[in-house]
């Protein structure tokens, strides 16, 4: 993985887009370049061995001009404060791109959750809430699942938050199980939203997914959901990966077998057909559509010259560095950026929050109908902006989003 600083990447992307807004929000723009608040906490956990182990956790609240902070919390051994700051910045941009009345937040704990028992994981999750609950709430900051977190962890967190406040407050966390106020459609929302955008983008050029050769990096969570959705479109999955390695078959992989392996928590090294390759090799396969769905900084100045995809859909956050972005644009490789492509997750999280606050719940069909409309409307605005300014889609999206945020800041007197 590249050593590129993701927060510097986020700042660079904002600076590139602000060129098209210069003079209108010069008083507000400098304030947008840094999070409004970054909190670091120390979380002691009594391990099964009896040892007390301390874990470092973070919450970054980037910009609340348009509404409560919104964003996931990830558990990963490589979490850094700059990563969390970057992700909260991208969440601000993402929410504004989709015109959601939310700001950007992000959290993380430096931990390899695979090394913890279920009891230790629960204590860690409750400990994060105990340290941060004064800064959270349905009108303040609403966390959600991210890398290595899920509905069970959100359940522990919302229970702990409600216990501390003395009353049930489901709207403080999203991505919850249905039994405690989760939304239908949230489990597949990131991938479903990405598919809606991808299909709409192809339709704008009179194309479809049928027969397209697709590579999806990281067959887990959003990536695995996308693999299942892609199977229904007539597209051909020729390559995918997990943390153990990658598999490739020009004729098409057996999607049912891949899904079975991953749902049984088995590695793709157990896949018995095709060719075993490395994750870096996977990104460089010749294909129609490449979908990075892992972590940030996957396509950098070091490997961008080897990218052979015709179109990239960023299902992960920040998988392409700014310098690599410029090279891809010069090679006429279109990139549907993360702040649009993976915004289905935060959109349905917003729907979940709305349902919690109203105590009225929608059907899966209603959720997906509303999600499709949001994603397609956002794509139309981004395409218009990119065409008008003659820039890549990412910059077009940033211009749309930043104008909305900066205008809100200006109207509020910031």
Tens of pLDDT, residues 202-218: 999 999 999 999 999 99
Question: Is the pLDDT at 220 greater than 70, yes or no?
Answer: yes
**Percent of the chain residues topping a pLDDT of 90:** 95
What CATH topology corresponds to 189-341?
A: Rossmann fold (3.40.50)
Confidence band for 142, pLDDT divided at 50, 70 and 90: very high
CATH number of this structure's domain 34-168, picked from the four choices 3.40.50.10860, 3.40.640.10, 3.40.33.10, 1.10.540.10:
3.40.50.10860
**Six-digit token pair at 57?**
């956790």
Q: What is the pLDDT of residue 1?
A: 38
Question: Is the pLDDT at 2 greater than 60, yes or no?
Answer: no
Q: Which residues of 391-414 are buried (b: 16+ CB within 10 A; e: fewer)?
A: bbbbbbbbbbbbbbbbbbbeeeee
Confidence band for 165, pLDDT divided at 50, 70 and 90: very high
Query: Average pLDDT in the 273-290 region?
Result: 97
Q: Under a CB-based contact definition with an 8 Å cutoff, are residues 219 and 241 in contact?
A: yes
Taking 3-state DSSP, the helix, strand and coil percentages for the chain, each rounded to the nearest 5, stand at 45, 20, 35
Report the interhelical angle of 393-411 vs 364-389 (nearest 10°): 100
**Percent of the chain residues topping a pLDDT of 70:** 99
**Six-digit token pair at 222?**
């959003």
Confidence band for 69, pLDDT divided at 50, 70 and 90: very high
pLDDT digit string, tens, across residues 96-116? 999 999 999 999 999 999 999
CB-based contacts of 340, cutoff 8 Å, min separation 6:
94, 97, 98, 197, 375, 378, 379, 382, 393, 397
pLDDT digit string, tens, across residues 308-355? 999 999 999 899 999 999 999 999 999 999 999 999 999 999 999 999
The segment(s) of the chain belonging to CATH 3.40.50.720 are 189-341
Confidence band for 3, pLDDT divided at 50, 70 and 90: low
Question: Is the pLDDT at 198 greater than 90, yes or no?
Answer: yes
Confidence band for 26, pLDDT divided at 50, 70 and 90: very high
**Six-digit token pair at 61?**
């609240």
For the ranges 3-12, 135-144, 386-395, the lowest mean pLDDT is seen at 3-12
C-alpha span between 375 and 322 (Å, rounded):
24
C-alpha span between 41 and 81 (Å, rounded):
11
C-alpha span between 40 and 109 (Å, rounded):
10
Of 195, 196, 190, 191, give the one whose Cα is nearest residue 377.
196
Phi and psi angles of residue 161, each rounded to the nearest 5 degrees, phi first: -60, -45
C-alpha span between 145 and 321 (Å, rounded):
24
Of 350, 390, 357, give the one whose Cα is nearest residue 96.
350
Report the interhelical angle of 151-165 vs 118-132 (nearest 10°): 50
The segment(s) of the chain belonging to CATH 3.40.50.10860 are 34-168
Run of H or E residues at 409: helix 393-411
How does the average pLDDT of the chain come out, rounded? 96
Q: Which of 106, 212, 213, 372 is catalytic?
A: 106
Q: Which residue has the tokens 């396969």?
A: 285
Q: Which residue has the tokens 């489901």?
A: 170
pLDDT digit string, tens, across residues 29-67? 999 999 999 999 999 999 999 999 999 999 999 999 999
**Six-digit token pair at 358?**
């109203």
Question: Is the pLDDT at 296 greater than 90, yes or no?
Answer: no
C-alpha span between 184 and 253 (Å, rounded):
29
**Six-digit token pair at 254?**
């057996």
Query: Average pLDDT in the 143-147 region?
Result: 92
C-alpha span between 199 and 202 (Å, rounded):
5
- Whether residue 203 lies in the annotated active site: no
């Amino acid at each position: 993985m590249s050593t590129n600083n993701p927060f510097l990447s986020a700042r660079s992307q904002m600076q590139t887009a602000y060129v098209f807004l210069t003079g209108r929000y010069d008083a507000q723009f400098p304030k947008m370049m840094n999070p409004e608040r970054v909190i670091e906490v120390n979380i002691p956990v009594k391990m099964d061995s009896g040892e007390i182990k301390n874990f470092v956790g973070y919450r970054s609240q980037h910009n609340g001009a348009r509404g409560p902070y919104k964003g996931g919390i990830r558990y990963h051994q490589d979490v850094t404060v700059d990563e969390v700051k970057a992700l909260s910045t991208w969440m601000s941009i993402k929410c504004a791109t989709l015109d959601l009345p939310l700001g950007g937040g992000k959290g993380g704990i430096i931990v390899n959750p695979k090394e913890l028992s279920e009891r230790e994981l629960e204590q860690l999750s409750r400990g994060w809430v105990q340290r941060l609950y004064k800064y959270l709430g349905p009108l303040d900051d609403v966390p959600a699942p991210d890398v290595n977190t899920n509905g069970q962890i959100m359940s522990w967190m919302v229970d702990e938050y409600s216990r501390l406040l003395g009353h049930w407050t489901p709207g403080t966390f999203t991505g919850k199980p249905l039994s405690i106020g989760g939304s239908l459609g949230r489990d597949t929302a990131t991938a479903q939203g990405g598919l809606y955008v991808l299909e709409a983008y192809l339709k704008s050029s009179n194309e479809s997914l049928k027969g397209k050769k697709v590579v999806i990096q990281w067959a887990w969570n959003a990536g695995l959901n996308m693999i299942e959705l892609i199977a229904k479109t007539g597209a051909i999955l020729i390559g995918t990966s997990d943390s153990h390695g990658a598999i490739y078959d020009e004729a098409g992989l057996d999607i049912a077998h891949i899904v079975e392996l991953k749902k049984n928590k088995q590695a793709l090294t157990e896949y018995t057909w095709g060719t075993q390759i490395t994750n870096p090799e996977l990104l460089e396969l010749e294909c129609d559509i490449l979908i990075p769905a892992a972590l940030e900084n996957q396509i950098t100045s070091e490997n961008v010259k080897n990218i052979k995809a015709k179109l990239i859909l960023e299902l992960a956050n920040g998988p392409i560095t700014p310098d690599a972005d410029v090279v891809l644009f010069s090679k006429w490789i279109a990139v549907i950026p993360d702040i649009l492509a993976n915004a289905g997750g935060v959109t349905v999280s917003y729907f979940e929050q709305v349902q919690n606050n109203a105590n009225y719940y929608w059907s899966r069909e209603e959720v997906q109908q509303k999600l499709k409309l949001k994603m397609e409307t956002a794509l139309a605005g981004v395409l218009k902006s990119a065409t008008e300014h003659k820039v890549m889609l990412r910059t077009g999206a940033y211009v749309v989003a930043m104008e909305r945020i900066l205008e809100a800041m200006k109207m509020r007197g910031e």
